[in-house]
Structure 1
Amino acid sequence: MHSITKGLLAGAVGTLALDVVTYTDMLVRGRPSSGIPAQVADRLARRASVPLGDGAARDARAQGAGALMGYGTGVAAGAAYGLLLRGRPPLPNPVAGPLLGAAVMAGANGPATALRLTDPTTWDTASWLSDIVPHLVYGLTAAAVYRALG
């Protein structure tokens, strides 16, 4: 199997794992979902002059676009990992996992920070943990799937 294909699959499974951890955290702690992805999608759509509609339809489209951007980030990071490893053996999972997790976390939080929708320097410990843990799970899962695909 081609390394980019393995990376795409690994990124998709890693994204699923991230979502499972995130939704489990929401279930256990009773916390709401973040509105930041929808806000990023809305701001980017406005800047690109992409119409999302008005009112509730706009909110729903922004929410859907934000979620899809998250999937895109996870799958693209896996593909990039596969591209970087083309013809090389995979990194050990304890190395690759945190690196992949950090890359996806930066890809998810970078636009929100650049658009001034969040400021990680103001996050409390619980906020950092609720962001770091799912992204680390993403990275470890994606690395393990990539390795398992041979």
Structure 2
Amino acid sequence: MRTLIKGMIAGAAGTSALNATTYLDMAIRARGGSSTPQDTVERLAEGLHVDLGEEETAENRKEALGTLLGYGTGLGAAVCYATLTRRRASWPVGVLTLTALATIGSNVPMVALGVTDPREWSVSSWVADIVPHVVYGTAAYIAYEQLR
């Protein structure tokens, strides 16, 4: 149970860092947010035959559920890491592992659902995806190691 709680705390720290990095990037480059979380929710709802409601209601639910998917991914990646690591991992290994878990957890479902195709991403899109995930991995690793 302690491992689960430590993983959740580390995941919350990493997710906060990822979100702050993403919003800072949006502010600096004056870019809009990605629609992929909402598009993912829409595809999931269609596949599960779940009615999200009419126009504004559906849009609000997609936005909220898309955000919650992100939090779930961040918490889940760190809980997986905490469960898999019995001994202290070195800084590079821990950060890269957490970064990979979060990146896979967020991107693989979107690719599988046909929401996005990384082969078509521009360099700036790759940077906008990778940098926040590395920040996530770093923050989650530091938080987890401090809780050990």
Instruction: Establish whether TM, by shorter chain, passes 0.5.
Output: yes
> What is the TM-score of this pair, normalised by structure 2?
0.96
Tell me the residue number matched to 2:66. Answer: 66
Whole-Å separation in 2 of the counterparts to 1:25 and 1:108: 18
What are structure 1's unaligned runs of at least 5 residues? none
Tell me the residue number matched to 1:103. Answer: 101
Secondary structure at the residue paired with 1:42? helix
Whole-Å separation in 1 of the counterparts to 2:38 and 2:136: 21
Tell me the residue number matched to 1:81. Answer: 81
Given that residues 81 and 97 in structure 2 are in contact (C-alpha distance below 8 angstroms), is that contact kept between their aligned partners in structure 1? no
Whole-Å separation in 2 of the counterparts to 1:146 and 1:25: 25
The count of aligned residue pairs is 148
Whole-Å separation in 1 of the counterparts to 2:38 and 2:88: 34
Whole-Å separation in 1 of the counterparts to 2:91 and 2:128: 22
Written as runs of structure 1 = structure 2, the 5 A alignment for 1:1-80 is 2-80=2-80
Name segments (4+ residues, structure 1) moved above 3 Å. Answer: none
Residue 93 of structure 1 deviates from its aligned partner by 2.0
Whole-Å separation in 2 of the counterparts to 1:80 and 1:117: 25
**For residue 129 of structure 1, what is the amino acid of its counterpart?**
V
Tell me the residue number matched to 1:130. Answer: 128
Whole-Å separation in 2 of the counterparts to 1:74 and 1:140: 12
Given that residues 6 and 146 in structure 1 are in contact (C-alpha distance below 8 angstroms), is that contact kept between their aligned partners in structure 2? yes
**For residue 44 of structure 1, what is the amino acid of its counterpart?**
L
Whole-Å separation in 2 of the counterparts to 1:7 and 1:93: 16
Given that residues 5 and 82 in structure 1 are in contact (C-alpha distance below 8 angstroms), is that contact kept between their aligned partners in structure 2? no
**For residue 35 of structure 1, what is the amino acid of its counterpart?**
S
> What is the TM-score of this pair, normalised by structure 1?
0.94
> Which range moved further: 64-73 or 44-53?
44-53
What are structure 2's unaligned runs of at least 5 residues? none
Residue 22 of structure 1 deviates from its aligned partner by 0.2
Alpha-carbon RMSD? 1.1
Tell me the residue number matched to 1:117. Answer: 115
Given that residues 10 and 78 in structure 1 are in contact (C-alpha distance below 8 angstroms), is that contact kept between their aligned partners in structure 2? yes
Given that residues 22 and 134 in structure 1 are in contact (C-alpha distance below 8 angstroms), is that contact kept between their aligned partners in structure 2? yes
Whole-Å separation in 1 of the counterparts to 2:53 and 2:91: 44
